Structure 1
């Protein structure tokens, strides 16, 4: 901060007098610094609770309350809060250099992080571009896909379109918002969003697969839909198909059915388009594998991959775009320059934090532990809630689970949006005696209806903590439906 000279009558002011003058001259400056009314919060109608400390799975508020953070924010805090190893890595980097312009310099922190990320793909990916958010990573992926075809020259330069999926979420910037299919988040910005993006049905077996359909038939139908969309647009104009391996915020932890992604990739390859895997929420161990595409449920290698959230575990704002050998090879033989850049890309402190997080995640046995804890979470939730009349579906992978609520279990009819079931469950969870944070979501039905909550505990959780999360979640959910008097003769407990 630049300090301005204080006003004084004497030409020579001693140190004590100087400090005293500053204190008198700007008495309200520090008072304003703690005024939360200056913050543009998510809502202007509600004041969020102020966190003053954290440790492990818990957040401590200024009023003395302690919350069980069962979601790590938005599936971010994969190693819990206040991890001393990550904090030390950040401080060590600050002792070296806090910022460098990547136009001129590189740092050991950036090179180490990128090396870790590429090694984690077993050589499938070749380079990593580090930025600050998942939205930025998906914007970069779109630009990289377009540039790849421009570098190929000839007829490939006609490619500029993208195909994503309905009820998907890829970010909040105009490009990434346009790429996604989250109806409610897109609504007021529709006139500003790109018309070069279209959408096909998601792989959502609970609501999309017909009762009489076998899984193979369902996959075939979705593949035919994607093929038809290529044909409608003109295959020579499509850059890529973009999808989340496990859909998080838009649908509530929806995994694919076996064979789905292999079928989608086959369609892409048939028409020469790329496959972009958005693992901002589901990647970096969240689904029980370092990369969700490495799981048996996905088992398809992407051409481009985006990462975020669990990449740095929330200790710094960090996201990434991983680029396959095929794309890097074409660009290397061409311009050799990615026509994209950002002030804070490969930020040294962010890279140091993310590298430290990845070293913990990549330790032998960590992914197996995530899968074991995930099994315990799944079994606990299903044992206590699956038979309730208001539970439609419990789904997920690893430590990434969603619970969808329905007004009618047989027809899968959702609750009316005005009831705000998911928001109500979240709000109740934040109250005594529950004191748990559950991630609420809507839009699992046609993008506008359908309520669910997400659970995404840290990978470092214990079985006892998972059991506590299950018991508390069950308590919140059952208490909500009792409190709202939704249980009646038609829907017995």
Structure 2
């Protein structure tokens, strides 16, 4: 049972952000006391994680011989699995053409191709693209561009942002201040910007009253957002920032119908922008290329990253709506922002290859088909377990939330590190599956879940492998249902 198992794991193995070796019997050069200590600053400094020496398809091979099914593509990144030959060819070709040039001085065919693909994929709703190297950078750029937009319009008093509790928008200081992951914010709290306030997320499992309709729940959340605008001064707000589909900090929570149109209506009423963070849920992960396509809204600014390059190169992007572009065009004529690796040709070539493969192989349809199958099987196999409170998701983006008491939805104490225990158990040789753990979803401190987010080219048979291993891991940690 979980209490006993958690107590048997050494405390050093339960650091919430650490991926560790799953079994003491495995010894490798990285762990050997005779070996020179690593120069890498690991999440847990003196505890090296498993070393991956090869990868192919859905599998990661460790230096001790385990074949681990990568059921989350890292952090919902490896959208086409590992070691794809077409992407390797694209990298080689771009390397032979142009490996690097400085975006403020030059453009490249690779950058032009992926930027055009991204704007065209929105049917012209977003008209410009700014290409960066990560999701955090894309969020930083979005915040800066939202601010510049209002300065260009003669509204310099707009300096504030409203975001959501239990959200995560990245690890740079601006992105961290916008997000609300209390554990990751804690040590930096005193140096974070104070111009961000937070409202409740759309989290029906915990936020919706038992007898409340979706419409009533949406009205209540819209009223809360309106009240926050009034509290800080409606004319001071640049934007409302939200993940279109909540990622790791809430565990793949789709918005209830009508939520985003209601939030956008509040923004429009006060002249604020809507920024949608699709770093994790976008680029096909939720079943459409852009998650907002399923929500009945069009953002003013949108961030993407993880599925854009599928892990083959560090890349993120900011997609910019027409009215924002027009304000800059009619004003200063440019965006006051640049980064050394913005528009990196190699990353752009990778992203274009990834997106071409997704389109050519009809993988968005596969995400929807296999995603429905994955969700159904997870609900059937583990949804009834007394320690599984909720199974939710969309596309190939699913979360499993664990509870101490199913009826009251009481979370486990944070000190038990349940999510990390499930993750570590999955890495054991009898299971060999990598799941993405997260905590703090219930109230910012307590609450445990794992994410399942496999590659878009997964088959039905491979979905069954995932669900079977997930069920066995849950049974091993908590006991059989």
TM-score when scaled to structure 2?
0.92
SS of residue matched to 2:464: helix
The question of 1:77 aligning with 2:74 is answered no
Do residues 417 (structure 1) and 414 (structure 2) align? yes
User: Are residues 1:51 and 2:52 paired?
Assistant: yes
The question of whether the paired residues in 1 share the 8 Å contact of 2:135 and 2:279 is answered with yes
Structure 1 stretch displaced more, 98-107 or 268-277: 98-107
Q: Does 1:388 align with 2:412?
A: no
Matches of 1:197 and 1:214 in 2, distance apart? Answer: 30
Q: 1:471 to 1:36 in 2, by over 3 A?
A: farther
Q: 1:35 offset after TM fit, Å?
A: 6.0
2:221 counterpart of 1:231: no
- The aligned counterpart of 2:475 is 478
Residues 66, 429 of structure 2: 8 Å contact kept: no
Question: For residues 475 and 65 of structure 1, what CA distance do their matches in structure 2 show?
Answer: 17
Task: Give CA-to-partner distance per residue, 1:154-200, whole Å, 9 cap, x none.
Answer: xx221010000000000000000000011111111000001100000
Residue deviations 1:290-315 (CA, integer Å, cap 9, x gap): 000001xx221000000011000000
Q: Distance in 1 between matches of 2:160 and 2:36?
A: 46
Task: Name the counterpart of 1:305.
Answer: 302
1:287-340, Cα deviation, whole Å (9 max, x unpaired): 000000001xx2210000000110000000000000001110111111111000
Measure how far apart 1:36 and its partner are: 6.3
Q: Could you give the per-residue CA deviations for residues 190-236 of structure 1, whole angstroms, max 9, x where no partner exists?
A: 00001100000000000000112111000000000000000000010
2:215 aligns with 216
For 2:10, the equivalent position in structure 1 comes to: none
CA distance in 2: counterparts of 1:104 and 1:405, whole angstroms? 51
Tell me the alpha carbon deviations over residues 434-486 of structure 1, each in whole angstroms, 9 at most, x when there is no partner: 0000000101111000000000000011111111001011110111112xxxx
- State how far apart, in whole Å, the 2-side matches of 1:329 and 1:75 are: 34
Paired position in structure 1 for 2:369: 372
Correspondence 1:318-467 to 2 at 5 A: 318-363=315-360, 365-467=362-464
1:61 maps to 62
What runs of 5+ residues in structure 1 fail to find an aligned partner? 1-33, 488-492
Q: What is the correspondence of 1:96-135 to structure 2 with a 5 Å cutoff?
A: 96-135=97-136
Q: Which has the larger radius of gyration?
A: 1
Using structure 1 for the length normalisation, give the TM-score.
0.89
Structure 2 CA distance for aligned equivalents of residues 87 and 120 of structure 1 = 24
Matches within 5 A, 1:236-275: 236-275=235-274
User: Aligned partners of 1:130 and 1:433: how far apart in 2?
Assistant: 42
Give unpaired runs (5+ residues) of structure 2.
Answer: 1-34
Task: Give RMSD over aligned pairs.
Answer: 1.1
Distance, in Å, in 1 between the alignment partners of 2:421 and 2:345 is 41
The whole-number CA distance in structure 1 between the counterparts of 2:285 and 2:129 is: 20
Distance apart, 1:363 and its partner CA: 2.9
Name the CA distance, whole Å, in 1 between partners of 2:445 and 2:126: 37
